[in-house]
């Protein structure tokens, strides 16, 4: 089934690489909460988003990648009507194929591009066996966390990313 846009029209499927490029471009453009407003995310991500008519800052989309893999994006705000403070991406593997083939997004699609975009990268291994490892990327008030598969090693560039979370922190200056 092809992906649909906010008004239910079919849109072309994209490759995992194109999706990662769009996500990275959007993340690098974020300087503050104003950059995770729905219209700004649509502009940077390059797709119309679905949204709640009663709260246009609550937005989401899901789509299909080439090969049957899927993704979703959802905004998360601290209260109704406020700008989002977090964006959550989730990536779903293709069913019935080997892990490497089934992977919708690998860490290699993100790590170097985010570092080149000014983010500091930090590897956080699995805190306990069977729990996801993660990469944390930080630049000013923007923190990106990429959850890799359980027990993944730092040097595994092909590790599958299951979730990617973008957090925009609000800093208050002390007088």
30 occurs within a structural domain = yes
Average confidence (pLDDT) over 22-34: 95
Average confidence (pLDDT) over 45-49: 91
Average confidence (pLDDT) over 27-48: 93
* 153 — pLDDT class (breaks 50, 70, 90): confident
Q: What is the mean pLDDT of the chain?
A: 84
Q: Is the pLDDT of residue 173 over 50?
A: no
Of 2-11, 48-57, 87-96, 127-136, the range with the highest mean pLDDT is 48-57
* 151 — pLDDT class (breaks 50, 70, 90): low
175 occurs within a structural domain = no
Average confidence (pLDDT) over 152-171: 85
* 10 — pLDDT class (breaks 50, 70, 90): very low
* 99 — pLDDT class (breaks 50, 70, 90): low
Length of the chain: 175
* 83 — pLDDT class (breaks 50, 70, 90): confident
105 occurs within a structural domain = yes
How many structural domains compose the chain?
Answer: 1
Average confidence (pLDDT) over 137-166: 87
Q: Is the pLDDT of residue 51 over 50?
A: yes
Domain around 108:
16-168
11 occurs within a structural domain = no
pLDDT at 156 (0 to 100): 83
Average confidence (pLDDT) over 88-116: 82
């Amino acid at each position: 089934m092809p992906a649909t846009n906010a008004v239910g029209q079919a849109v072309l499927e994209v490759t995992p690489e194109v999706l990662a490029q769009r996500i990275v471009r959007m993340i690098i453009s974020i300087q503050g909460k104003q950059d995770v407003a729905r219209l700004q995310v649509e502009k940077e991500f390059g797709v119309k988003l679905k949204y709640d008519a009663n709260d246009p800052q609550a937005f989401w989309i899901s789509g299909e990648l080439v090969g049957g893999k899927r993704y979703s994006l959802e905004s998360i705000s601290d209260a109704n009507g406020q700008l989002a403070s977090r964006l959550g991406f989730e990536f779903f593997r293709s069913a019935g194929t080997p892990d490497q083939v089934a992977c919708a997004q690998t860490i290699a699609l993100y790590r170097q591009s985010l570092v080149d975009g000014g983010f500091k990268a930090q590897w956080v291994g699995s805190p306990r066996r069977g729990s996801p490892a993660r990469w944390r990327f930080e630049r000013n008030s923007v923190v990106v966390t990429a959850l890799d598969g359980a027990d993944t090693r730092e040097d595994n560039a092909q590790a599958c990313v299951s979730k990617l979370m973008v957090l925009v922190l609000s800093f208050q200056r002390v007088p």
